[in-house]
């Protein structure tokens, strides 16, 4: 008689394992508990970060069965990195660490939920998007940027004096990226107007 097949691992068990691995990383310490913004004197923190989140809270919600799906749990995990990159200056230690943690999480999470609509765009996705932005007319690009601003205003930094818009790609949610990607794709076949606006990435 063949041995009984092992029971499949539930998505909750898988997420607990993923979050536990992240928590075990030395650099994850600053994300393990809620940001002590009062103690740190960050008086504007809650004005900028509308939905605070931390890994300890995610783990508590997982173990108390507060998530209905793995996507809901992943949304909270991604919110941690998003908040850190939103509040901190690109290139700062916390920003850089949050970005690295985000990339590590996505690598671990991808096998569990390849179809997650909120999966962030890859570096190649964003590079191709920026390149294609230079292949459409000024008016078409303006429409794309207006749509992006409506969905993710914190992603854009306008510089009117230089006729330039900077896009912080790290702050563009996956579902928003796919929406503006689809919109941009509708404009790509017609590139008759050579007038262009500059779009830069915030690295």
Confidence band of 117 (pLDDT split at 50, 70, 90)? confident
Q: Confirm if 31 and 55 have CB atoms less than 8 A apart.
A: yes
Give domain status of residue 3, yes or no.
no
- Poorest-confidence range of 41-50, 55-64, 75-84, 112-121? 112-121
Q: Quote the pLDDT of residue 9.
A: 66
Q: Are residues 42 and 92 in the same domain?
A: yes
Residues 39 and 94 in one domain: yes
Is residue 159 domain-shared with residue 188, that is, in the same domain?
A: yes
Domain count, the chain: 2
- Please check whether residues 103 and 150 belong to one and the same domain: no
Distances (CA, A) of 157 to 74, 125, 148, 197: 27, 20, 12, 14
Instruction: Tell whether 22 is covered by a domain.
Output: yes
Averaged pLDDT score across all residues of the chain? 87
Residues 128-140 have pLDDT tens digits of 988 898 889 989 9
User: Residue 110 to residues 92, 101, 103, 113: CA-CA distances in angstroms?
Assistant: 27, 14, 11, 5
Same domain, residue pair 90 and 149: no
Q: Is residue 115 part of a domain?
A: no
In a domain, residue 80? The reply is: yes
Boundaries of domain holding 147: 123-201
């Amino acid at each position: 008689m063949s041995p009984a097949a092992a029971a499949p691992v539930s998505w909750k068990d898988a997420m607990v394992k993923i979050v536990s691995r992240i928590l075990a990383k030395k650099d994850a310490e600053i994300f393990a508990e809620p940001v002590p913004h009062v103690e740190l004197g960050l008086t504007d923190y809650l004005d900028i970060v509308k939905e605070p989140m931390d890994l300890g809270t995610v783990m508590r919600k997982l173990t108390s069965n507060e998530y209905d799906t793995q996507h809901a749990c992943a949304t909270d995990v991604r919110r941690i990195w998003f908040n850190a990159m939103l509040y901190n200056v690109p290139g700062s230690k916390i920003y850089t660490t949050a970005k690295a943690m985000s990339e590590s999480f996505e690598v671990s999470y991808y096998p569990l939920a390849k179809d997650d609509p909120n999966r962030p765009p890859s570096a190649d996705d964003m590079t191709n998007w920026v390149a294609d932005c230079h292949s459409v007319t000024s008016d078409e690009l303006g429409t794309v940027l207006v749509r992006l601003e409506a969905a993710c205003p914190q992603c854009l930094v306008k510089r009117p004096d230089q006729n330039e818009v900077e896009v912080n790609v790290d702050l563009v949610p996956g579902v928003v990226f796919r929406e503006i990607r689809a919109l941009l794709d509708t404009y790509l076949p017609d590139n008759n107007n050579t007038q262009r606006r500059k779009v830069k990435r915030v690295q």
